[in-house]
Structure 1
Amino acid sequence: MIIQPSLPQAFVIEQIDHARMSGQLAAAFGNAEFAPLVPREPLEFVIAHHDEGWLELDAQAKRDPKTGLPYNLTQTPLADLVTTGPRSPDFNEQYHPFAGLISSMHTWGLYHGRYGLSDFLFIDRITPELRPTVDAMLNAELERQTRLKAQLTDFSDQQIFTGYKLLQFFDTLALYFHTTLAAARQEAHFRNVPRAVGEDVTVKITPQAEGNYALAPYPFAQPEVRVFVEGRYLAPQPEGVDLAAVLRATPKVKQEYLLTPERRSLNHA
Structure 2
Amino acid sequence: MIVREHGDHFLMIKQHDHALISGEMVLQWKKTFLLRSKLREEADWAIAQHDAAWIPLDEHPKWNDEKNQPYTFIDYPLKEKLDAYSQGIEEISKQTLYGAMLCSMHYQSFFSRDSDDARIRAFVEAQEQKQKQLFNQMSMEVPKDIYQLHFKRLQFCDDLSLYICMQEPGTSKEEEISWFKDGFPQVFDFAPQGIKARWVDESKVAVHPFPFEKPFKVAVPYKLVSKEEIRASSLEQALHQAEERERLVHFSPEEKA
TM-score bucket of the superposed structures, by smaller chain: 0.7 to 0.9
For the residues of structure 1 that align with 2:67 and 2:227, how far apart are their CA atoms? 6
Deviations 1:203-250 (A, max 9, x none): 12122135211111111112x110122111113355573211221111
Gaps of 5+ in 1: 113-120
Q: Of the candidates 183, 191, 209, which is equivalent to residue 189 of structure 1?
A: 183
2:12 aligned with 1:21, yes or no? no
Give the TM-score taking structure 2 as reference length. Answer: 0.86
3-state SS, counterpart of residue 213 of structure 2: coil
Shift of 1:109: 1.0
Contact 1:14 1:231 in 2 (8 A): yes
Shift of 1:91: 1.9
For the residues of structure 2 that align with 1:218 and 1:74, how far apart are their CA atoms? 28
Gaps of 5+ in 2: 174-180
Shift of 1:44: 1.1
Change (3 A) 1:244 1:210: closer
For the residues of structure 2 that align with 1:180 and 1:37, how far apart are their CA atoms? 32
2:34 aligned with 1:42, yes or no? no
- The one-letter code sitting in structure 2 at the alignment partner of 1:18 is H
Contact 2:3 2:11 in 1 (8 A): yes
How do residues 215-254 of structure 1 correspond to structure 2 at under 5 angstroms?
Answer: 215-222=207-214, 224-237=215-228, 241-254=233-246
Q: Of the candidates 163, 170, 174, which is equivalent to residue 161 of structure 2?
A: 174
Shift of 1:133: 3.1
3-state SS, counterpart of residue 233 of structure 1: strand
Please say which of residues 77-86 and 166-175 is displaced more in the overlay.
77-86
Shift of 1:195: 4.0
Contact 1:29 1:36 in 2 (8 A): no
- The one-letter code sitting in structure 2 at the alignment partner of 1:133 is R
Contact 1:68 1:239 in 2 (8 A): no
Q: What is the RMSD of the two structures over their aligned residues, measured on CA atoms?
A: 2.3
2:121 aligned with 1:135, yes or no? yes
Shift of 1:67: 5.0
For the residues of structure 2 that align with 1:195 and 1:10, how far apart are their CA atoms? 40
Please say which of residues 157-166 and 135-144 is displaced more in the overlay.
135-144
Change (3 A) 1:194 1:88: farther
For the residues of structure 1 that align with 2:45 and 2:80, how far apart are their CA atoms? 25
Give 2:10's aligned residue.
10
Change (3 A) 1:82 1:51: same
For the residues of structure 2 that align with 1:56 and 1:157, how far apart are their CA atoms? 33
- The one-letter code sitting in structure 2 at the alignment partner of 1:55 is I
For the residues of structure 2 that align with 1:133 and 1:240, how far apart are their CA atoms? 36
How do residues 80-229 of structure 1 correspond to structure 2 at under 5 angstroms?
Answer: 80-112=80-112, 124=115, 131-152=117-138, 153-186=140-173, 188-195=182-189, 200-222=192-214, 224-229=215-220
Contact 2:92 2:100 in 1 (8 A): yes
Give 2:176's aligned residue.
none
Contact 1:69 1:235 in 2 (8 A): no
Shift of 1:8: 3.3
Give 2:64's aligned residue.
64
Contact 1:67 1:236 in 2 (8 A): no
Please say which of residues 171-180 and 76-85 is displaced more in the overlay.
76-85
Shift of 1:185: 4.5
Give the TM-score taking structure 1 as reference length. Answer: 0.83
Contact 2:217 2:250 in 1 (8 A): yes
For the residues of structure 2 that align with 1:174 and 1:107, how far apart are their CA atoms? 16
For the residues of structure 2 that align with 1:94 and 1:139, how far apart are their CA atoms? 22
